[in-house]
Chain A
Amino acid sequence: MLKLSEKFFLALIVVTLLLPAALTVWVHCGNPSPQFNWIANRTLSGVTIKKDLPPITTTSWLNGQLQKGLNTLATEDFAGRELLIRAYNEILYRLFDKSYMTSEKIIRGKHENLFGVDYLAVYGQYLPPISNEEDETLAVMMKYLSERLKQLGSCFVFVITPSKATLYPEDIPDRYLIKLKQGEQRPTNYQILVPK
């Protein structure tokens, strides 16, 4: 015989597991008002890639595309997902100074400044500079583009923008600057590309 408290928690668990599917149906069929945006996954802005469901055919089932599509749809579109993401990321941020997105691609620097890890890797010289081959290929491509655009009456302008890491080096966490501080100076991609 279940105790009352057990029934309460079991009911909570069951509702938590049942609710997302029911709400997803409601969101997609009922066109809820904006006050329910937090359920309908409309609170996080940004660029999204719309993923369509593959055609429901025997072939798409047998090659696994249909299952993959349904999985993606269910994973990325269940009601309340953004709420969970916000809550989880808020906890990670408050407790561990962490910013989580798939893998930890964005980190929190000094003075609340956020940095992309890839840019820090380049700035901190953890990634090798552009190779001669890549450099040559890039130069040939740009030369071609420049000439082609000139023929078409347009002007080709190549802009190299400084990364956030270059602009705010004082806010980069120390652990990303170890290699740079060791004095292993090497030319940056900018310094390599400009003379070309």
Chain B
Amino acid sequence: MLFNSPLFLFLFFPCLYLLYRFVPNNCRNGLLLAASFLFYSWVEPIFVFWALGSALLDWMLGEVISRRAEPNIRKAAVTLGVIANVALLAYFKYANFFRANFIVALQNFGVSPSPLWHVALPVAISFIVFEKITYLVDLYRGDCRPADNLLTYLLYVFYFPKLLAGPIIRYHDIDGQLRRRQVTWLDFRDGIIRFLFGLAKKVLLADHIGHFSDEIFRLPAQQLDLGMAWIGVLCFTAQIYFDFSGYSDMAIGLSRTFGFHLKENFRQPYTAINFSDFWHRWHISLSTWIRDYLYIPLGGNRHSIPRTYFNLCLCFFLSGLWHGAAWTYIIWGLYHGTMLIADRVFWKEWQKHLPKGLNVAITFFLVVIGWVVFRAESLNQIGTYFGAMFIPKHAEPNLLWLSPDIVLALVVAYFIIFLPLIPRFDKILHWYEGLALRRSIELATAYGLLLFALGRVAATSYQAFIYFRF
């Protein structure tokens, strides 16, 4: 069940919210947990039991960590919990990848093993595992109190708005809200506005542009020329931002309607002035997770310079692997790790002599290059695509056409992306935030966007009729 599906928009959310408003306060967590289980088991009817079993184990280990004073026992409990979670992730997400590479390696030695098994990748496993690890480590470090009861803990793990694609929430950030929160109409208003803007970002921009980007990336090499290759990657650059930040907006907005205040996950990432800045703006919940639970425990920058660079590379190698079990993601992660090292070695000093606009342009260009690697289906395609982007050639004609609606969607998308760079943007924003009718304007805009988005949702799923418009 996706947030942009009619089932969610017309049935799941309205019914849940009505119930949520009418049940007593002390039943609200239970209701949200039941809804979250229904939501997750809708997409993962089998894996939900694995996730539940794993969460119960973590809960028990959490109890040991919080109740026992002996350092050895606490350490053993947190180690066991982390290993169990990583093993779960390794099996479900990486078993196929490791097996495929192992088979290729064996084939190089003339051995041809028969395929053994295929593990289906459960939706949201990476997010669930990271949050479960967070709870155990925070308890061990003393950064948070244990959950009041099992129900509260399970709601933290399975809370449906952030379940499928984040933001990754740390237990101590939501602990207080899980215990007690206010549910107000003001929060409902702000949440709905945020949710509908996120829906519009996803449905009207990301999906619209993404369809064209997919077609370009599917073109055979001989039909891909320089212009089309750049349009393709610029489409993907906009698509991934509006898709992901749209989802985050929807998650944050939905949570707000239920009285939760989640942290921001994106902050105008394409206006970053270098890669360090980019990772302070892009998927913030992941980058801070990696910093706090991987980079700093590895030693961060407290040791020698080579060790710091190694830590950075390792973190981004793992970040790449977290995004997906493929060499393309690993290379993408290492690319970002290398760029962060370059920031530290020389770029942050050099860039002081350049105007901000140029720094943004350079960073944006390098980020776009990274997206080619991220989007490519294989290592071969990376080479082919870069070849098309940088070496002009006479390509065969193809059927793709940059139609006016896609041009408009791209213009709107990049206008939104680079809006914060316009002169005196802060003053304009400040003036706008002071408007008495600000929320009414936003609600009216959100309503218009909702109608458009619903039209597209209905039209794109309309497959049963043939020639119905004639």
Q: Which residues of A contact B (CB under 8 A)?
A: 1-3, 5-6, 9-10, 12-14, 16-18, 20-21, 44-49, 51, 61-64, 67, 70-71, 74-76, 78, 81, 84-85, 87-89, 91-92, 95-104, 106, 114, 117, 120-121, 124, 126, 175-176, 178-179, 182
Report yes or no: A78 in contact with B188, Cβ–Cβ below 8 A.
Answer: no
Contacts A21-B11, A74-B11, A103-B211 given; indicate if A2 touches B45 (C-beta within 8 A): no
A residues in contact with B6, CB < 8 Å: 20, 74-75, 78, 81
B437's closest neighbor in chain A, by CB?
A5
Report yes or no: A67 in contact with B459, Cβ–Cβ below 8 A.
Answer: no
Cα A48 to Cα B185 with chains together (Å): 43
| Stretch in B85-93, B374-382, B447-455 touching the partner | B447-455
Cα A121 to Cα B1 with chains together (Å): 36
Cα A45 to Cα B11 with chains together (Å): 27
Looking at the assembled complex, report how far the CB atom of B10 sits from the nearest CB atom of chain A, in whole angstroms.
4
Report yes or no: A61 in contact with B45, Cβ–Cβ below 8 A.
Answer: yes
A residues in contact with B398, CB < 8 Å: 126
B195's closest neighbor in chain A, by CB?
A13
Instruction: Given contact pairs A17-B14, A44-B465, A76-B464, enumerate 15 new A-B contacts (beta carbons under 8 Å).
Output: A10-B188, A13-B192, A13-B443, A18-B14, A21-B14, A46-B465, A46-B467, A63-B45, A67-B1, A81-B458, A84-B457, A85-B455, A101-B469, A124-B399, A126-B397
Q: State whether the Cβ of B296 lies closer than 8 Å to any Cβ in chain A.
A: no
Cα A117 to Cα B465 with chains together (Å): 17
Report yes or no: A6 in contact with B440, Cβ–Cβ below 8 A.
Answer: yes
Report yes or no: B7 in contact with A74, Cβ–Cβ below 8 A.
Answer: yes
* CB under 8 Å from chain A, chain B span 348-386: none
| Stretch in B170-178, B230-238, B400-408 touching the partner | B400-408
Report yes or no: A9 in contact with B444, Cβ–Cβ below 8 A.
Answer: yes
A residues in contact with B458, CB < 8 Å: 81, 84-85, 88
Cα A64 to Cα B397 with chains together (Å): 42
Partner of A46, one of B9, B186, B466: B466
Q: State whether the Cβ of B462 lies closer than 8 Å to any Cβ in chain A.
A: yes
Report yes or no: A2 in contact with B465, Cβ–Cβ below 8 A.
Answer: no
- A–B pairs, 9, beta carbons within 8 Å: A2-B189, A10-B443, A17-B13, A47-B466, A67-B1, A70-B7, A74-B5, A88-B455, A99-B469
A residues in contact with B446, CB < 8 Å: 9, 13
Partner of A92, one of B5, B405, B439: B405
Cα A175 to Cα B327 with chains together (Å): 37
9 pairs of A and B residues whose beta carbons are closest in the complex: A88-B455, A9-B443, A5-B440, A46-B465, A74-B7, A84-B458, A46-B468, A96-B405, A178-B397
Q: State whether the Cβ of B42 lies closer than 8 Å to any Cβ in chain A.
A: yes
Q: State whether the Cβ of B43 lies closer than 8 Å to any Cβ in chain A.
A: yes
Report yes or no: B10 in contact with A182, Cβ–Cβ below 8 A.
Answer: no
Looking at the assembled complex, report how far the CB atom of B188 sits from the nearest CB atom of chain A, in whole angstroms.
7
Q: State whether the Cβ of B470 lies closer than 8 Å to any Cβ in chain A.
A: yes
Q: State whether the Cβ of B72 lies closer than 8 Å to any Cβ in chain A.
A: no
Contacts A6-B440, A21-B10 given; indicate if A48 touches B465 (C-beta within 8 A): yes
Report yes or no: A85 in contact with B459, Cβ–Cβ below 8 A.
Answer: yes
B residues in contact with A14, CB < 8 Å: 14
Report yes or no: B405 in contact with A71, Cβ–Cβ below 8 A.
Answer: no
Cα A13 to Cα B253 with chains together (Å): 14
Cα A117 to Cα B403 with chains together (Å): 14
Cα A178 to Cα B43 with chains together (Å): 45
Cα A5 to Cα B442 with chains together (Å): 11
Q: State whether the Cβ of B157 lies closer than 8 Å to any Cβ in chain A.
A: no
Looking at the assembled complex, report how far the CB atom of A66 sits from the nearest CB atom of chain B, in whole angstroms.
9
Q: State whether the Cβ of B330 lies closer than 8 Å to any Cβ in chain A.
A: no
Cα A100 to Cα B204 with chains together (Å): 14
Cα A61 to Cα B48 with chains together (Å): 12
A residues in contact with B404, CB < 8 Å: 95-97
Q: State whether the Cβ of B229 lies closer than 8 Å to any Cβ in chain A.
A: no
Q: State whether the Cβ of B460 lies closer than 8 Å to any Cβ in chain A.
A: yes
Report yes or no: A3 in contact with B10, Cβ–Cβ below 8 A.
Answer: no
Report yes or no: A98 in contact with B469, Cβ–Cβ below 8 A.
Answer: no
Cα A51 to Cα B461 with chains together (Å): 14
B400's closest neighbor in chain A, by CB?
A175
Report yes or no: A88 in contact with B456, Cβ–Cβ below 8 A.
Answer: yes
Looking at the assembled complex, report how far the CB atom of B41 sits from the nearest CB atom of chain A, in whole angstroms.
8
Report yes or no: B459 in contact with A71, Cβ–Cβ below 8 A.
Answer: no
